[in-house]
Amino acid sequence: MSIRLFCAASLIASAALLLAQTHDGHENAAPAKLVQLVRDATRQFININAATAAGYQPFLGCVSGPDHGAMGFHYVNSALVGDGVLDASRPEVLIYEASGGALQLVGVEFVVIADSWLASHTSPPVLEGQSFQFVPSPNRYGLPAHFELHVWAWRDNPNGAFVDWNNRVTCEGQ
């Protein structure tokens, strides 16, 4: 095999591997941007007292996964849920995990009520290239039908930054 052919084959194999990794992990430039935007916007809420002062209130208890992982404790800003605005710097929900007697910020959830959104849009919401998931009603949270997007900005999720359940979050420390 000539050097030129070997280099071309290596380049093709490397590109294929990179493409496979990018597709499997759902990682690209847009997710990295959204994760960073969320981190920058929510750094102020690392301390739970700052979150409650800004209007975030506990909703339900610690939410654990149906099979594995958890989401943690959701602190919801109901004024943001009802405004129908998508803004990476203003998540409707902050997610915390109980650890060592304190709550640690692990991620956020963006929530848009489906009826409100669909009254003026024909497709699900998209934020920085990430599509929201539809959650019908009735659901385990007692909420109306809505669209949601999780962003694990403060706790790595081995399944991806935008997957609902995070195997590295637990409800056991509550």
Structural domain includes residue 92: yes
Structural domain includes residue 83: yes
In tens, the pLDDT along 27-75 reads 444 568 999 999 999 999 999 999 999 999 999 889 998 778 899 999 9
The structural domain count of the chain equals 1
Write out the residue range of the structural domain in which residue 41 sits: 26-151
In tens, the pLDDT along 46-59 reads 999 999 999 999 99
Q: For the purposes of burial, counting CB atoms within 10 Å of the CB of 149, is it exposed (0-12), middle (13-18) or buried (19 or more)?
A: buried
Structural domain includes residue 100: yes
Strand, helix or coil at 4? helix
